[in-house]
Amino acid sequence: MKKFRAVIVGAGAIARDHARVLGQDPRTELAGIADIDYSKAQILASASNTVAYADYKTMVSELRPDIAIITLPHYLHKTAAIDCIERNCHVLMEKPMALHVEECAEMNAAARKRGVYLAVGHIQHHYAANRKAKEIIASGKLGQLISIFERRHYPYFLPERPDWFLDKARSGGGVMINLGSHCIDKLQWIGGSPVTKVKASLTYHGTRGNVEGSGSLLMQTAAGVSAMISICGYKNVPVNETEFLGTEGQLKLIGSNSLWIAGEDRAYTQVELGETVNVFDAQWSAFLDDIERNGPMDNSGEYGQSVCAVIDAIYRSDATGTEQDVITVPSPNVLV
């Protein structure tokens, strides 16, 4: 069995989840962790029985890992990814893939040139309820899918949120690029069709920073499915619900691990999901499987680029007050 040597670039909160997974996975050796705040890298490296670096480029050059996991602030994604790719690393990015679709295209081109895998951590693909919903829709049990409705409300301007999240130049935006990436991913991946048109209206009433705090979205997919999304990051009751309406029934996702179905009886019954798994464990296992079998990836860099293209269209629509086409910068497929 091949043992993959992996490093983590960035030692923030999400890096702890990745470090735990890598430390327990029999196919992986966690070779090092880097962060510009060396004390943070030291703390996580010590807890993970590995070495710490202050500079990720030095770490990658010295350790020559097979894989780099990038968990940096959004504005650093493109540079760090290309640096690691050019050192022949497969790369797993945290979402969103980058600030804008043009950056995604550059990253995908670099991966294609080096012949390495570039994946984006769209974790929604690994929740049991989401996977079951995708299976049911693909089976035709709901008939023709016609509409998707999602509400995702969660306080965004919390004191503990790092300042860079609330600075548009560094984060790319607020609730849309951060929480909205999950929503777009769910409706594209579960619904089986990319978003092609967007009409968006955003608000800016946050108590910190210069990013949007809410948005209402009307979208259409390539399959002709309409979607309405409400995202709110103010002081509202938290909710995370998605409904998929078909001609023969409907599904409701509540949170991440609760799925309900209704048919001719027009009453919801809960869908049995079986044993659930930790989504970070599942994501890492799937990533290694894809590399080992030299196979296609459903969270490829190309897919991540499609999500960022929708985000870009959202901001264009709000700025212009008009519906916008989703424009994905032409980029050949990357190992897909």
CATH number for 58: 3.40.50.720
Distance of CA 175 to the CA centre of its chain: 13
pLDDT score, position 109 = 96
Whether 99 contacts 79, CB under 8 Å: no
Q: How many whole angstroms separate alpha carbon 236 and alpha carbon 238?
A: 6
Query: Quick one: residue 10, left, alpha or beta (phi over 0 = left, psi -120 to 50 = alpha)?
Result: left
The answer on 189 and 153 residing in a single domain is yes
Percent of the chain with pLDDT over 70: 98
Mean per-residue pLDDT of the chain: 96
The answer on 92 and 181 residing in a single domain is no
Q: If pLDDT is split at 50, 70 and 90, which confidence band does 336 have?
A: very low
Average confidence (pLDDT) over 102-114: 97
The answer on 18 and 128 residing in a single domain is no
pLDDT score, position 332 = 46
Domain count, the chain: 2
Q: Is the pLDDT score of 333 beyond 80?
A: no
Over residues 150-178, the pLDDT tens digits come to: 999 999 999 999 999 999 999 999 999 99
Average confidence (pLDDT) over 32-45: 98
The answer on 289 and 200 residing in a single domain is no
The answer on 158 and 110 residing in a single domain is no
Strand partners of residue 316: none
Nearest to 172 by CA among 259, 272, 72: 72
Instruction: State which residues form the domain around 22.
Output: 4-123+280-299
Q: How many residues can be counted in the chain?
A: 336
pLDDT score, position 329 = 74
Q: Is the pLDDT score of 301 beyond 60?
A: yes
The answer on 155 and 176 residing in a single domain is yes
Query: Quick one: residue 260, left, alpha or beta (phi over 0 = left, psi -120 to 50 = alpha)?
Result: beta
Q: Is the pLDDT score of 136 beyond 70?
A: yes
How does strand 258-262 pair with strand 250-254?
Answer: antiparallel
For the chain, the maximum distance between any two Cα atoms, rounded to a whole number of angstroms, is 63
User: pTM value?
Assistant: 0.95
Q: What is the DSSP string of 13-31?
A: HHHHHHHHHHHH-TTEEEE
Q: Which two tokens stand for residue 169?
A: 């130049």
Q: Note whether residue 242 is domain-resident.
A: yes
The answer on 226 and 137 residing in a single domain is yes
Tokens 């990013």 identify what position? 211
pLDDT score, position 330 = 59
Average confidence (pLDDT) over 209-238: 98
Distances from the Cα of 49 to the Cα of 18, 53, 109, 169, angstroms: 14, 13, 35, 35
Q: Is the pLDDT score of 227 beyond 60?
A: yes
